[in-house]
A and B are shown apart, each in its own frame.
Chain A
């Protein structure tokens, strides 16, 4: 299973005076099992891009090939695309509408036309996977849950459709640090249990460093670079030119190196970084 994007371009308001290129010549390939981070400044086109990946927006030109089918072509069944590609929007808790959590999570699977038994099974599985206690929440109103729980329930609604590609648009937006950590752990848990492609949009470089196999960097509607976190974060000055940071730890190491202390900068782990700095300081003393 894979997803390939070729020369994707999208223009907002084509033919009107305020026409604007939202995406230009985007090309990349993602393979099964990859955990992908999509980063970029606000307004760089991240949300527009992810909406293309499940057919909510159609490109003006280019191809989006999911498992051999070009979903940008007219005539492709939308339901088929959504079976393959699940998209969790920003603040997904605002889409909850049913009387109970279980019914709300069942909305997606039911739309896929599954039978009642399979739907129940998937609801139970999805709620457990996002870290909610199925028995405790299934009959509660989604509007009575706490903020973090609401978001998990909403994410379960997409997970229950068992997409091959799960996309989460800023899943931690507006959450406190504790819930933030829980949600990112949940994303990792879902990814590990399904081994599918997971794409998450984020502004938190620590999450990118800790979780992603591959990073897509967007700027002004263009794809700036694709690479592993180590590769991408090694271009500190280029990133800051487009309004992005490297993780705080790498930032510190980079500053130390620029200040004359010979340390490696591509370290994401706190203990490892501490050892590296101590080692470098020791060496300097010996000289």
Chain B
């Protein structure tokens, strides 16, 4: 049950998108997110949706994977949809009991939902097509100008890659502890919210203790291999911008310019 979480997961495949430089993908995703907030009508969304669909096809990630990533936010999605649907004042088109649906509300509810779905899909596509290592490497290089201002970019990137690396480890650990407590008769599946919350204590405490133990071991292993931060550290894989990377970056910029232009003109 804990293994269903696909947030931040990598899907191994050989595709144009997978092979792009991580920096391009990070910048592209950021620009796309800005696009989503700049655009103000459904025509804009149609264009952005088409662009995302094209990338999806190129990335060769099965649709099932994308939908599974959307599942955890389904509740938030439904909540925002109905909140907008009922709470916005305006021209009433439909009345159920004390609730009224307005034209503006319907518009906004649809608008927000589409924005949210595109937002999550785009950002999960970034992690699905980029290895955590390349992702943090790319981020480190993008942030490297800040190094001169005293920001410890290498350490931030290292912390991020360790955090990502330990998601599956901690999930496996949680699974093990859960089984051990179930063997002692623990019940996580019945009772009200409070009972279920309390039932988590026998899992969470060993999990925290375990996380500290693993962190201590990792620190020791890194020191034993003479890790001392980013200074003087070289990379195994030197990423170089290729022609495809420039093309992809260009496409993102064109889309971005188009979104801005649309906003300014209308």
Instruction: Give the complex CA separation of A78 and B182 in angstroms.
Output: 9
Instruction: Give the complex CA separation of A143 and B209 in angstroms.
Output: 9
Q: How near does chain A come to B78, taking the closest CB pair, in angstroms?
A: 29
Instruction: Name the residue on A nearest B184 (C-beta).
Output: A108
Contact A157 B184 (CB under 8 A): yes
Given known contacts A56-B179, A87-B183, A89-B179, what 7 new A-B pairs fall within 8 Å (CB)? A56-B183, A86-B183, A89-B176, A94-B176, A94-B180, A97-B201, A111-B184
Contact A108 B185 (CB under 8 A): yes
Q: A79-B185, A161-B184, A161-B185 are in contact. Are A96 and B179 (CB under 8 A)?
A: no
- Could you write out 18 A-B pairs with CB less than 8 Å apart? A51-B179, A56-B179, A56-B182, A79-B185, A79-B187, A82-B182, A95-B184, A97-B201, A97-B206, A107-B184, A107-B185, A108-B184, A111-B185, A111-B186, A112-B185, A143-B209, A158-B183, A161-B184
Q: How near does chain B come to A88, taking the closest CB pair, in angstroms?
A: 8
Q: In B139-195, which residues have CB < 8 Å from any A CB?
A: 176-177, 179-187
Instruction: Give the complex CA separation of A228 and B184 in angstroms.
Output: 31
**Which residues of B are found within 8 Å of A229, using beta-carbon distances?**
none
Q: A94-B210, A95-B177 are in contact. Are A54 and B183 (CB under 8 A)?
A: yes
Instruction: Give the complex CA separation of A51 and B179 in angstroms.
Output: 9
User: Contact flags (1/0) for A61-100 with B, using CB distance below 8 Å?
Assistant: 0000000000000000011001100111100101111000
Size bin of chain B's contact surface: 10 to 19
Instruction: Let me know if B46 is at the binding interface, CB within 8 A.
Output: no
7 A-B pairs with least C-beta separation: A111-B185, A97-B205, A108-B184, A95-B180, A87-B183, A89-B180, A97-B202
Q: How near does chain A come to B87, taking the closest CB pair, in angstroms?
A: 43
Q: A94-B206, A94-B210, A97-B206 are in contact. Are A82 and B184 (CB under 8 A)?
A: yes
Instruction: Give the complex CA separation of A92 and B177 in angstroms.
Output: 9
**Which residues of A are found within 8 Å of B187, using beta-carbon distances?**
78-79, 111
User: Contact flags (1/0) for A112-149 with B, using CB distance below 8 Å?
Assistant: 10000000000000000000000000000001000000
Instruction: Name the residue on B nearest A57 (C-beta).
Output: B179
Count of interface residues, chain A, beta-carbon cutoff 8 Å: 24
Q: In A209-267, which residues have CB < 8 Å from any B CB?
A: none
**Which residues of B are found within 8 Å of A89, using beta-carbon distances?**
176, 179-180, 183
Residues in chain A within 8 A of chain B (CB atoms): 51, 54, 56, 78-79, 82-83, 86-89, 92, 94-97, 107-108, 111-112, 143, 157-158, 161
Q: How near does chain B come to A208, taking the closest CB pair, in angstroms?
A: 24
**Which residues of B are found within 8 Å of A87, using beta-carbon distances?**
183
Query: Which of B181, B185, B201 is close to A95, meaning CB atoms less than 8 Å apart?
Result: B181
Instruction: Name the residue on B nearest A87 (C-beta).
Output: B183
Q: A97-B201, A107-B202, A143-B209 are in contact. Are A92 and B180 (CB under 8 A)?
A: yes
Contact B210 A82 (CB under 8 A): no
Instruction: Give the complex CA separation of A262 and B206 in angstroms.
Output: 55
**Which residues of A are found within 8 Å of B186, using beta-carbon distances?**
107, 111
Instruction: Give the complex CA separation of A157 and B182 in angstroms.
Output: 12
Instruction: Give the complex CA separation of A56 and B202 in angstroms.
Output: 17
Q: How near does chain B come to A89, taking the closest CB pair, in angstroms?
A: 5
Q: How near does chain A come to B117, taking the closest CB pair, in angstroms?
A: 26
Contact A158 B184 (CB under 8 A): yes
**Which residues of A are found within 8 Å of B206, using beta-carbon distances?**
94-97
Contact B177 A94 (CB under 8 A): yes
**Which residues of A are found within 8 Å of B201, using beta-carbon distances?**
97
Instruction: Give the complex CA separation of A80 and B110 in angstroms.
Output: 50
Instruction: Give the complex CA separation of A78 and B180 in angstroms.
Output: 14
**Which residues of A are found within 8 Å of B209, using beta-carbon distances?**
94, 97, 143
Instruction: Name the residue on A nearest B183 (C-beta).
Output: A87
Instruction: Give the complex CA separation of A231 and B218 in angstroms.
Output: 45
Instruction: Give the complex CA separation of A54 and B205 in angstroms.
Output: 24
Q: How near does chain A come to B11, taking the closest CB pair, in angstroms?
A: 13
Q: A97-B206, A107-B202, A143-B209 are in contact. Are A82 and B179 (CB under 8 A)?
A: no
**Which residues of A are found within 8 Å of B185, using beta-carbon distances?**
79, 82-83, 107-108, 111-112, 161
Q: How near does chain A come to B106, taking the closest CB pair, in angstroms?
A: 40
**Which residues of B are found within 8 Å of A92, using beta-carbon distances?**
180
Q: How near does chain A come to B223, taking the closest CB pair, in angstroms?
A: 22
Instruction: Name the residue on A nearest B205 (C-beta).
Output: A97
Q: How near does chain B come to A76, taking the closest CB pair, in angstroms?
A: 14
Instruction: Give the complex CA separation of A96 and B213 in angstroms.
Output: 14
Instruction: Give the complex CA separation of A112 and B210 in angstroms.
Output: 27
**Which residues of A are found within 8 Å of B182, using beta-carbon distances?**
56, 78, 82
Instruction: Name the residue on A nearest B213 (C-beta).
Output: A94
User: Contact flags (1/0) for B76-112 with A, using CB distance below 8 Å?
Assistant: 0000000000000000000000000000000000000
